[in-house]
């Protein structure tokens, strides 16, 4: 397969890191992105280069418009046109609170980082993908995002991601004639170190919340993304894919 260049936002750690490794193992050149985790990004950059592909690390906050432009321009200058864009980065406030308790700054940060920034980044790469007649865009959501249900205490984050659901489906239809697929991957409640672990590493662990019975891993998510990025996955577009072991993040598990 011809060399392809993949930009994964928020990829110094966690699910983004695991995704970057999965794509590098398939032979893609990798552009890592970070905001604060420079040390982790540089270490991952060296690890990926040992796989025999090119890799760079670029600092940039997806919620800031000028930094989005700088990020894309740097990748294009140092590696070439972006063929695969994985929109992993996005702020999340773990503290549960009512919408009335959010500050305006928090509201704007969540919307900019999870919706507007993603849309602008997509917009910047579309022209290059159209010229090549090939492209893969992956958005990140949350479990059951496609249903647009109420999610108390997560109002702003949920609004941004469910807005992204509609955008994913619309962009998929508009760009299909140009050989560009657009899909959303919705991870379950994958926490802490599990975001960077393999399936084998979590298979023996128990998780009482997930119907599958084990916690999710970074590999569970990364392998789906890697599949969607393959050349022959061009008939899969506009899909919202839960990778959650059956977990519903809003309604509690009903145990028998």
144 backbone dihedrals φ, ψ, rounded to 5°: 70, 20
Residue pair 87/122 in contact by the 8 Å Cβ criterion: yes
DSSP 3-state of 190? coil
**How far apart are the C-alpha atoms of 110 and 21, rounded to whole Å?**
27
Distance from C-alpha of 125 to C-alpha of 123, rounded to nearest angstrom:
6
Neighbours of 208 (CB within 10 A): 7
Nearest to 169 by CA among 202, 204, 200, 145: 145
pLDDT score, position 190: 84
Closest CA to 150 of 47, 24, 250, 44: 250
State how far the alpha carbon of 255 is from the alpha carbons of 49, 216, 224, in Å: 46, 19, 28
Question: What is the three-class DSSP state of 256?
Answer: coil
pLDDT of residue 250: 63
Q: How far apart are the first and last CA of the chain?
A: 49
Is 199 within 8 Å of 219 (Cβ atoms)? yes
Please, where are the H alpha helices in the chain?
14-25, 38-49, 65-78, 104-111, 117-132, 155-175, 199-202, 218-228
Averaged pLDDT, groups of 10, the chain, 256 residues long: 88 96 96 96 97 96 95 96 96 90 95 96 97 97 86 92 97 98 92 86 81 83 96 96 81 52
Domains of the chain listed by start with CATH number: 5-243 (3.40.50.720)
pTM (two decimals): 0.93
Q: Look at residue 252 in the predicted model and tell me its pLDDT.
A: 54
The residues that bridge with 135 in the sheet, in sequence order, are: 180
Structure tokens at 244: 């959650």
């Amino acid at each position: 397969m011809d060399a392809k260049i993949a930009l994964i936002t928020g990829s110094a750690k966690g699910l983004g890191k695991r995704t970057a490794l999965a794509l590098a193992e398939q032979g893609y050149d990798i552009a890592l992105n970070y905001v604060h985790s420079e040390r982790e990004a540089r270490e991952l950059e060296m690890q990926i280069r040992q796989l025999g592909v090119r890799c760079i690390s670029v600092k940039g906050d997806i919620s800031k418009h000028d930094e989005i432009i700088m990020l894309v321009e740097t990748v294009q200058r140092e590696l070439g046109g972006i063929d695969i864009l994985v929109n992993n980065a996005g702020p999340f406030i773990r503290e549960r609170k009512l919408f009335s308790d959010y500050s305006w700054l928090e509201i704007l940060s969540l919307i900019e980082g999870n919706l507007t920034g993603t849309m602008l980044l997509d917009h910047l790469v579309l022209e290059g993908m159209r010229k090549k007649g090939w492209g893969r865009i992956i958005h990140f959501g949350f479990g059951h995002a496609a249903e647009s249900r109420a999610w108390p205490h997560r109002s702003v984050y949920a609004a941004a991601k469910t807005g992204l659901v509609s955008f994913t489906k619309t962009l998929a239809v508009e760009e299909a004639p140009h050989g560009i697929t657009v899909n959303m991957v919705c991870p379950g409640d994958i926490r802490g170190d599990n975001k960077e672990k393999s399936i084998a590493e979590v298979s023996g662990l128990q998780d009482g919340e997930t119907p599958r019975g084990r916690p999710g891993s970074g590999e569970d998510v990364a392998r789906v993304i890697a599949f969607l990025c393959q050349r022959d996955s061009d008939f899969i577009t506009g899909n919202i894919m839960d990778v959650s072991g059956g977990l519903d993040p809003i309604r509690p598990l009903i145990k028998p």
